[in-house]
A = this chain, B = another copy of it.
């Protein structure tokens, strides 16, 4: 990954924090537009995203164009000093497309068509879809590329579709041919000698459709790789069109947080701005950590400031029970995003819909309108952001710790017929990040092939699949003085999901002082494994050490009594279970301490989060009770606009942004 060239988020922010959201004025009569602008200005909104789902409005019948309404809106925004992030409308084709071109509709693995009537009913592999999407993108870019309101391009929306149909099958074969060159190489990589799956002709190769029994896991893995790549092709095709018209303006597409379908490391390389949609559950006691994880991940993909493209001012509508945000939480979580590197704080959507599938998803202006609590809090937040913007935009965050994450490993590990269905990769990742977060250790994410030398400690919650290069990288990192803490089920498989001899990479075993991995002993839900000093969950292992470890913590009792649960050999740690939260936090705090990594601030109360961004110190109280924080020295709180000396009290959901 090379440093990014071309326009960046800074070209859109120009010293401000972008504040606003998706704006879908085609749902409203024009008189409401003017009311909207008034409310936006009062709330400090300086950016709206237009056009995300406007295809059928722009092209109501095939080949027609209706831009008048959009012309008026672009002008209106410009007149009011509100920048426009303009979206290509290709996430939701108009009904006429599926009707005239059934080949644009995806099929699921059971062969069922996904019809129009919702959204995202397009096949990434459909040549027709791609042609029509390019045409509307071209016209949009040609018309608005020079409009003074335009600040950024937004391509499509939350790419997330699969297709097992015939055109996708043809594209899958092309993709495989490009990857493997020959059928022999494919047969080798997929291990088709097992279960008589040897392919004798490319035409026989299919997406992993419904089967009688277990599917070929490498076929499934490659289909996930292929899907991510096909969607990326859709993205880059549209990006290249708009870039041709406006080489000076940044382009983005919005990720869903930690979503399984896209290799976001790879995608981020193709974006000028990395943006994400973030919806922690307001009722989740660890919602703030959930947010921090996604923010750290997005910042790491962006390698700098990033954009919070969507969040909710209140409840969403897609959970079983959709809870609103208690007073203050919207502000708290928005400022948390800024603390962790966001230079844009946006929402889906500006005005809550009265019709359609998302009318119970909250808006910055809710059904209760201007008087509603949601808008009142939005207005307050706008003022807060304006207050801190001059000091924060463009600011960087230094992290001494990196957590490794890789989609390919996730894709390979998250399949049927594995040792334990209880092992859920995102949950494992969350558990490790949570331990670091609760230890107040600022953390980046990194890809296992990235240069890790800048980090004092690297944490691998679980990388089931590690390429040879990634193993090289880890070994070099430790040789170079780095501290590596590694969780179970790591280094099991190679790039083709082929189990490495010994069940775990031999060089990794040597690194940790393991001679033989005899058996995995996965634990049932709720079951624990007693270890010296703590309890493990989810997993345990029957390991035979080779006698070279400097320190081992044994299992106690049961079949594994006396065998090592944790090994440390020099700066390399192996943790063969998932310690309970407090134990994992202690373990990582100790390893970090030995690696010379310090928490952001000493003596922080549990529920207070602290982040340093640039010259600022953010302090966020995630509790509902006031709390006092020791901050030695003299500071200025940019939000309260008052001096702080040595300590301050944060109220319920309170935030301070200190400049020293």
Contacts and interface: CB of A to CB of B under 8 A. Distances in A.
B321 A522 contact: yes
Contacts of A503: 366-368
A203 interface: yes
A415 B55 CA distance: 26
A139 interface: no
Say which size band chain A's interface belongs to: 35 or more
Given A120-B212, A356-B217, A420-B321, A99 B201 contact: yes
Contacts of A496: 355
Q: Say how many copies of this protein the assembly contains.
A: 3
Given A94-B197, A354-B500, 19 more contacts: A24-B194, A27-B191, A54-B196, A57-B196, A60-B198, A96-B201, A113-B210, A118-B211, A120-B213, A193-B355, A214-B318, A314-B519, A315-B519, A321-B420, A321-B524, A322-B420, A354-B501, A369-B501, A374-B518
Given A367-B503, A522-B323, A194 B357 contact: yes
Nearest to A318: B417
A481 interface: no
Interface stretch (A104-112, A126-134, A568-576): A104-112
29 contacts: A57-B193, A60-B200, A89-B196, A95-B198, A110-B112, A112-B210, A113-B210, A114-B210, A116-B197, A118-B195, A119-B196, A161-B212, A191-B353, A191-B359, A193-B356, A194-B355, A194-B359, A195-B357, A197-B356, A218-B355, A314-B519, A315-B519, A321-B523, A322-B420, A327-B559, A355-B498, A360-B418, A366-B519, A368-B502
Interface in A288-323: 314-315, 317-318, 320-323
The 4 lowest CB-CB distance pairs between A and B, nearest first, are A191-B355, A194-B356, A118-B211, A367-B503
A3 B356 CA distance: 39
B498 A196 contact: no
A27 B191 CA distance: 7
A115 interface: yes
A221 to B, nearest CB: 11
B118 A215 contact: yes
Contacts of A521: 323-324
A195 to B, nearest CB: 5
A422 interface: yes
A426 interface: no
A419 B316 CA distance: 8
Given A89-B196, A112-B210, A194-B356, A204 B321 contact: no
Nearest to A539: B321
A373 interface: yes
Contacts of A518: 366, 368, 372-374
B194 A358 contact: yes
A549 interface: no
Contacts of A120: 212-213
A215 B324 CA distance: 23
A125 B324 CA distance: 43
A53 interface: yes
Nearest to A367: B503
A120 B128 CA distance: 36
A327 B499 CA distance: 24
B419 A360 contact: yes
B206 A115 contact: yes
A404 B94 CA distance: 39
A542 interface: yes
A284 to B, nearest CB: 12
Nearest to A164: B115
A83 B597 CA distance: 62
A161 B213 CA distance: 10
A520 interface: yes
A307 to B, nearest CB: 22
A368 B517 contact: yes
Nearest to A420: B321
A279 to B, nearest CB: 14
A44 interface: no
A121 interface: yes
A110 B109 CA distance: 13
A337 to B, nearest CB: 22
A421 interface: yes
A216 interface: yes
A151 interface: no
A371 B317 CA distance: 55
A212 B96 CA distance: 17
Contacts of A214: 118-119, 318, 357-358
B359 A324 contact: no
A548 interface: no
A117 interface: yes
Contacts of A93: 196
